[in-house]
Amino acid sequence: MTQGHFGKRIFIADPRDPERMVLSSILGRLGYEISSFSNMDDFLEALTEQPRLVVIHAQLEGAAERALSLGSAECRVILVDLPPESSHVFSGFVDATEHVLRGINVRVPEIVMVINDFISPPEGMIRRPPRVAGGYATEIHLREQTMMGHIYNISVTGAFLEIANPPERDETMLLKFQLPHTGEMFQCEGLSTWRVLPHESAAMRSPPGCGVRFLNLTPDQSSLLEDFVERKGRVEP
């Protein structure tokens, strides 16, 4: 096993130029070491560099088989795919194997969040915390300014905020929003960890926004979020 397996080297193999470039740009700003490829031959030739994680699009010939053969504890794989034409519309991540995740109809922000969960969890362990869909109006206080946004999805540790002008990385903010069925306003500090800029929105088919990690949660707040996420967006009355 080499140093690369423990680092932040990511390979992106995707024939779609806009999506590949935007994903590479965002991950590069987050400090990952990125190599991107538009065809299978170049991708296979570079595998001797032993990436920590691979994102491969199903449009590449043999992508599904290659994803299954590459997936291991040393190299996690995200296979970006579309649902079969005969199936109902579905969006989200499903486990193909223990080490291969299939993302169906997923967008760039969702891929970035999963990659962060795989490679950079706080305790250095590979984990993918569950998330539930948002849609909650959110009041954001940042540098003596107040703006409105929406929570795209939420976990026990953070959320993705849809904001017209997302802040830079490592900005601290105060968030105020109401979780459904709780009957009271949820208020906490948050730290921006990555962002989607307005000019990147068209390529990734997603509004601008930023990932936020919750800070200084009280035991009651943590318990409420854990219950909310565990019940997939519902809270016991």
Residue 184 has a pLDDT of: 72
For residue 77, what are the domain limits? 3-119
Q: Alpha helices of the chain — where are they, by DSSP H?
A: 3-6, 17-29, 40-46, 63-70, 108-119, 201-204, 219-230
Tokens 């806009």, residue?
Answer: 18
pLDDT at 89 over 80: no
Mean pLDDT of 61-75: 90
pLDDT at 210 over 80: yes
Does any domain span residue 237?
A: no
Q: Alpha helices of 52-194 — where are they, by DSSP H?
A: 63-70, 108-119
Residue 125 has a pLDDT of: 39
Last residue of a domain, one of 57, 87, 119: 119
pLDDT at 206 over 60: yes
Residue 188 has a pLDDT of: 95
pTM over 0.85: no
Q: Round to whole Å and give the CA distance between 16 and 106.
A: 14
Does any domain span residue 124?
A: no
**What mean pLDDT value characterizes the chain?**
82
In this structure, the answer to whether residues 206 and 185 fall within a common structural domain is yes
Does any domain span residue 165?
A: yes
* Residue bearing the bigger pLDDT, 182 or 14: 14
pLDDT at 154 over 60: yes
Question: Residue 188 in contact with residue 216, Cβ under 8 Å?
Answer: yes
Residue 34 has a pLDDT of: 94
Question: Strand ranges (DSSP E) for 38-156?
Answer: 53-57, 76-81, 92-95, 100-104, 132-142, 145-154
* Residue bearing the bigger pLDDT, 70 or 119: 70
In this structure, the answer to whether residues 114 and 10 fall within a common structural domain is yes
Tens digit of each residue's pLDDT (9 = 90 or more) over 101-128: 888 888 888 888 888 777 765 444 344 5
Tens digit of each residue's pLDDT (9 = 90 or more) over 72-83: 888 999 999 876
pLDDT band for 136, please (50, 70, 90 cuts): confident
Instruction: Please tell me the least confidently modeled range out of 94-98, 122-126, 171-175, 197-201.
Output: 122-126
In this structure, the answer to whether residues 52 and 81 fall within a common structural domain is yes
Does any domain span residue 197?
A: yes
Last residue of a domain, one of 93, 119, 145: 119
Question: Residue 53 in contact with residue 66, Cβ under 8 Å?
Answer: no
Question: Residue 59 in contact with residue 80, Cβ under 8 Å?
Answer: no
Q: Output the domain CATH number for residue 193.
A: 2.40.10.220
In this structure, the answer to whether residues 110 and 153 fall within a common structural domain is no
Does any domain span residue 70?
A: yes
